[in-house]
Amino acid sequence: MDRVLYTHRWMQLIENKDGDAFVRTANAVLLIPIDDEGRLVFVRELSPAFGHEALALPTGEISMNEAPEHAAERELREEIGHRPARLRFVGRVHPSVKYLSAETLIYEATGLEHAPLDGDEPNGVAAESVHPGDVPGLIRAGRLTDASSIAALALAGFLPNG
């Protein structure tokens, strides 16, 4: 039987029956927003874990009893101020299969319409549009380091093979 060692509003530290510890968080949605010019819309926000601004695709928690598609629309409205006309399910990833119990559902969002919604980001976020061809350079330069964003872009076919 699992035992909760610590609880915070975003996560729990759990010890399993074998004495191994892992972090449990809510499942999440990650969006690949594509604007009318075919650019990818990222967010820049402060990373509490690393103490600097980070570039990533919009991501957020799926609330209890919330449909993933509803969470996807809500997160886009909160983070980039747009509602998607179309959502396409791309796949799912587990950001860390050993010590993090969480699943991220990935959606491509197109037909973006202006529809802002206040979010819960304490430090705010800023949107940044990027041409898809520039993404490999952002990764090589160390500007895009979020593993879930990189995996999502690979699953959706935005990263070249090799």
Over residues 7-34, the pLDDT tens digits come to 998 889 999 999 999 999 999 999 999 9
Answer yes or no: is pLDDT of 107 > 90: yes
What mean pLDDT, rounded, does the chain reach?
A: 92
Return the pLDDT at 78: 93
Read off the pLDDT band of 81 (50, 70, 90): very high
> Which whole-number Å values give the CA distances from 63 to 11, 49, 78, 91, in the listed order?
13, 22, 14, 19
Sign of CA dihedral 94, 100, 103, 106: negative
pLDDT at position 1 is: 86
Domains annotated for the chain, with CATH where assigned, are: 26-155 (3.90.79.10)
For 45-96, where are the alpha helices, taking DSSP H only?
A: 68-80
Q: Which of 58, 88, 89 is nearest to 74 (CA)?
A: 58
The answer to whether the beta carbons of residues 146 and 54 sit under 8 Å apart is yes
pTM above 0.85, yes or no: yes
Please say if the pLDDT value at position 162 is more than 60: no
Is residue 140's pLDDT more than 90?
yes
**32-78 tens-digit pLDDT:** 999 999 999 999 998 888 888 999 999 999 998 999 999 999 999 99
Are 117 and 78 in contact, with CB atoms under 8 Å apart? yes
